[in-house]
A and B are shown apart, each in its own frame.
Chain A
Amino acid sequence: MIDIAWSQFTPWSALIGGILIGLAAASFLLLNGRIAGISGILGGLLTPLRGDIAWRVAFILGLIGAPAVWFLFADLPAINIEANVPSLIIAGLLVGVGTRYGSGCTSGHGVCGLSRLSVRSLVATLCFMGSGFVTVFVMRHVIGG
């Protein structure tokens, strides 16, 4: 009973973008020997250790700089942020605390963890995907509906 949003579904750009994300995780793993887990890379900056700062900042700057590099060649695709400011603050706090307690986010557990067939990461991914589905259901169809 799932209705697919055919007009919004973008399988090719999703797949190509996904492959790029995979290549980023692969290059980080095969060049630097580390897992490309964004919440861990960012969170590690809050308890900085000598010699452990520059590469973290570099990775984050790469992410933040991606739209500028993109913009050299093409217009950026639309970014529509529906959430209001209080919701964004609550969401940010939950994402910050949750990813650190759970030792990872969509990149570390989702992409890298599933790629190395880690059961621990599979459990984490099922937890955040599950609660994401439930949250959107409640917000759009229980409270909003």
Chain B
Amino acid sequence: MKYSIASLVSGLIFGLGLIVSGMANPEKVLGFLDIAGLWDPSLAFVMGGAIIVGVGAFAVARRRTLSFLGFNIKIPGHTHIDKRLVFGGLLFGIGWGIAGFCPGPGLVALGAGETKAAIFAVSMVAGMAVFELIERSRAKS
């Protein structure tokens, strides 16, 4: 129960951060991705602000095996760089560039009642389902 409450609060703060930063608005994200046009560097400041806090948090987490609520700390140990990582990242970037939405802002804009964000979010979940189907058929063959 407290695990889910901490998740809810984290998700909520994350969403509020996306709204404050302007990143729930795809127009602003595309303004960052459009380097050849009039460039809006705001997204870099969002990443910078988040990473400053994040570095501190991971420094604390690395010294602990249990979280402050007593759960195991699961930091991914993968270091391999493979085709899946690169190919997946490239595909994601194309989608991000087309609409200006990545997963978090898509969900926040959906919560703001934007019909177009709902279309994006449903398509994104469908894309994730396609991935699971491909993985499953690969595992069988």
Interface residue ranges of A6-65 to B (CB < 8 Å): 8-11, 13-36, 38-39, 42-43, 46-47, 54-65
State the interface size on chain A (CB cutoff 8 A): 113
Indicate if the CB atoms of A64 and B110 lie closer than 8 Å: yes
Identity of the chain A residue whose Cβ is nearest the Cβ of B61 in the assembled complex = A29
For chains A and B in complex, what number of residue pairs have CB atoms within 8 angstroms? 495
Identity of the chain B residue whose Cβ is nearest the Cβ of A83 in the assembled complex = B99
Contact A97:B20 (CB < 8 A) given known A128-B90, A128-B92: no
Convert B103-129 into 0s and 1s, putting 1 for each residue whose CB lies closer than 8 angstroms to a CB of A.
110111111111011011111111111
Interface of A is mostly: helix
Q: Which residues of A are at the interface with B, using a C-beta cutoff of 8 A?
A: 2-5, 8-11, 13-36, 38-39, 42-43, 46-47, 54-70, 76-83, 85, 87-103, 105-107, 109-112, 114-120, 123-137, 139-141
Q: Can you report 24 residue pairs joining A to B where beta carbons are below 8 Å apart?
A: A8-B40, A13-B21, A22-B49, A22-B51, A32-B10, A58-B5, A58-B11, A63-B12, A64-B15, A67-B112, A77-B19, A77-B24, A78-B25, A88-B99, A95-B103, A101-B88, A127-B86, A128-B96, A131-B90, A136-B30, A136-B33, A137-B36, A140-B34, A141-B37
